[in-house]
A and B are shown apart, each in its own frame.
Chain A
Amino acid sequence: MKRTGRFWVRGWTLAAWLAAASLLSGAWAPAARAAEKPIKIGFGMALTGGLAANGKAALLSMQIWADDVNAKGGLLGRKVELVVYDDQTKPAAVPAIYTKLLDVDKVNFVVSGYGTNLIAPAMPIVMERGLVFMGLFGLAVNEKFQYKSYFQIMPSGPSPMTDWSRGFFDIAAKQTPKPTTVALVGADAEFAINAVSGARQNAKKMGLKIVYDKTYPPATVDYTPIVRAIKATNPDVVFVGSYPPDSVGMVQAAHEVGLKPKLFGGGMVGLQYAAFLARLGPKLNGIVNYDFWVPEPTLNFPGIEAFLKKYQAKAAQAGVDPLGHYLPPWSYAYLEVLGQAITATKSTDQKKVADYIRSHEFTTIVGKVKFGSNGEWATSRVLQVQFQGIKDSKIDQFHKPGKRIVVYPEAWKSGNIQYPYSSAK
């Protein structure tokens, strides 16, 4: 079991069953540590369940941040402590976790867990109490809540739904021959559906004809019937919104069926992980997919290399993604933002810290971060990355630049797109 600051691990005895009574009387208070009181940051994180692979990687990165900060003397001269509970990827567990953090553990700040489903249930609680709330990879959570102290580190941009795939379609628009038809396909689950609906809007705006627009259940075993049905419509562009296992299934099926659109990819989660990069290897060539950070020279921000070194050294032991290019830098960065705001305001006052975050730009390991009025990034930094020149399944090649080329946006571009998809090697 990992320990972060004070992650209270108690022996499980039969007596704990009877402790139900003490829970009901609300007397579940941990022993307070006296003297120099640390700054406590609490959160729930998916350490088991569907999102655990990412949740565990995020937690490791957050621990690295806490260690880094404490090595420099902490925040405002106080040590930083992370208090984390496993939300088991269950939204229903979230309200109890956050109220426990706030009422019983008396944490100074809360930050979100990973993913839209697990951020949303915490929102009413932080809003009732007027807390500053840093979010980790939730898509358009604040659209309904309109809460002004919510900040999302994922760089989707001011209108998250469409910004997500705008780049993908901008690229399509610039190519010759210009594509005219598009197939949209996504998993029946929150992120994928949103990604596809954003893509639908972008495709319509661009005047593409939508020839296929369907969803599939996440537990699908065989993707070849789906890919074959897509192939039968002969689309120029195929946009996929998928989760890790189905991303692999779609890519494999595309190769087996011989799907050869001009542009293929879009919103496939999982193609950023070492295990899948290695296993799919050369099959990835030509796919254009979203990403947030890749080891390209244009994105070599100060501090990121040092962070990845620390992360990669611990990754094997923690049993998480050995590469750590996807979520880890961002889970480090969202605490960096909070930490910098605390230091700058010399305060743990929620309102002061939130005001500061809202009005300032931050320098983090993922680059400069500035939030807009709805708590999303002021300008989108969703990258479109094309896999190029992958010859084998060795994982080392993905540590270095040259395999995942940033082709969009202009500001971060590190190479040119190979178009159409079938010409890429």
Chain B
Amino acid sequence: MFSELLVNAVAAGLLLGGFYAAVSLGLSIAFGLLDVVNIAHPVFVILGAYAAYVMNSRFGWDPVLAGLAFTPVFYLLGMAVYRVYYASFERKGEEALRGLVFFFGVMFIIEVLLLLQYGVDYRLVDAPYIGKSFQLGAVSIAYRLFVPFLGGLALAAAVYLFLGNTYFGRAIQGVSQDSLALRLMGADPIRIKTIAFGIAIATASLAGALLIIIGPVEPSIGREYIGRVFAIAVLGGMGSIGGTFAASLILGVVESLTSTFYGPSWSTAVSFGVLLLVLALRPAGLFGR
């Protein structure tokens, strides 16, 4: 009985972690690679969830499909946001504190726009796999969590391959380390960063779709994720995609185990406790460079 519970708890944690990876990847790019403290990232995820909701309830699209379809839109949105951010703060070298407040403001604005358009009611999507589950040995796996896990995995793999194997990808990794060298090579660091931030926000589209597959969404629940995504980005070692994915899984499993064996009430606190410990003992993160 106990071992079955343990196996299931770990499995549930891994599934949850895969989803956390989808939500955190964008922040890991923006915060870890570009040094942009995008505190509004979770609210972009909520925006993605509403896009999926609208396409699902109005046209019957599968939420994952809607999430993919909106990715280019979010990419452009991200580029636009970065342009404003760059022109207003980064160029003047004032990004640290003011940039943060800027994203706070962006968060409020997006939240309210969703509120005005769709109200405060919880929204859900419909898909044939929601509510079904399958058995894998002793483990029962709900599609509602399995699909987001796959989504997170695919997203992480795609970003990982992109960063490692393409010209732009390598340039993005370069920009975080040495933008001067990049400029000498003939690449415009601002353009590279704009593209990178666009990609960061683009991941929020799919992440939002995955979020609304898991459960109901209302405009302000993004706030619940702020702490968690930053925790993951830091634990993952700032900008390391593999590290982010691993950190997501660890957080998911820790939460799930606490939830199963100790008491769900402490599950969030435990993951933040882990974060505090890591910050105090190893500020570069578990998988720091």
Contacts and interface: CB of A to CB of B under 8 A. Distances in A.
Interface string B235-275: 00000000000000000000111011101110110000000
A120 B165 CA distance: 60
A200 to B, nearest CB: 15
Interface string A252-288: 1101111000000000001000011001000100000
Contacts of B5: 228-229, 232
B119 A56 contact: yes
B120 interface: yes
Interface of A: 48-50, 52-53, 56, 188, 214-217, 219-222, 224-226, 228-229, 232, 244-245, 248-249, 252-253, 255-258, 270, 275-276, 279, 283, 319-321, 393
Contact of A220 (B9, B216, B261, B264): B264
Contact of B260 (A53, A228, A253, A270): A228
A217 B124 contact: no
A200 B105 CA distance: 44
B25 interface: no
A252 B15 CA distance: 16
Nearest to B143: A256
Given A217-B264, A256-B140, A275-B121, 17 more contacts: A48-B120, A216-B265, A221-B16, A222-B16, A226-B260, A228-B260, A229-B259, A245-B216, A245-B221, A248-B124, A252-B142, A252-B144, A252-B215, A275-B123, A319-B119, A319-B121, A320-B119
A256 B144 contact: yes
Interface residues of B, number: 44
Give the interface centre of B119, B264, B265 by most chain A CB atoms within 10 Å.
Answer: B264
Given A228-B8, A228-B9, A221 B19 contact: yes
Interface of B: 1, 5, 8-9, 12-13, 15-16, 19, 115, 118-124, 126, 130-133, 140, 142, 144-145, 214-216, 218, 220-221, 224, 255-257, 259-261, 263-265, 267-268
A226 to B, nearest CB: 5
A225 B260 contact: yes
A244 B220 CA distance: 15
A225 B131 contact: no
B265 A219 contact: no
A232 B118 CA distance: 40
A50 B130 CA distance: 26
Nearest to A229: B260
B12 A222 contact: yes
Contacts of B218: 245
Contacts of A245: 122, 215-216, 218, 221
Given A228-B5, A249-B215, A256-B142, A53 B268 contact: no
Contacts of B145: 222, 224
Contacts of A48: 115, 120
B129 to A, nearest CB: 11
A214 B265 contact: yes
A188 B124 contact: no
Contacts of A270: 122
Interface centre among A229, A244, A258 (most CB of B within 10 A): A229
Contact of B259 (A219, A226, A275): A226
Contact of A232 (B1, B12, B115, B121): B1
B120 A53 contact: yes
A37 B130 CA distance: 57
Contact of B122 (A232, A252, A275, A320): A275
B121 A321 contact: yes
A274 B90 CA distance: 48
Nearest to A215: B265
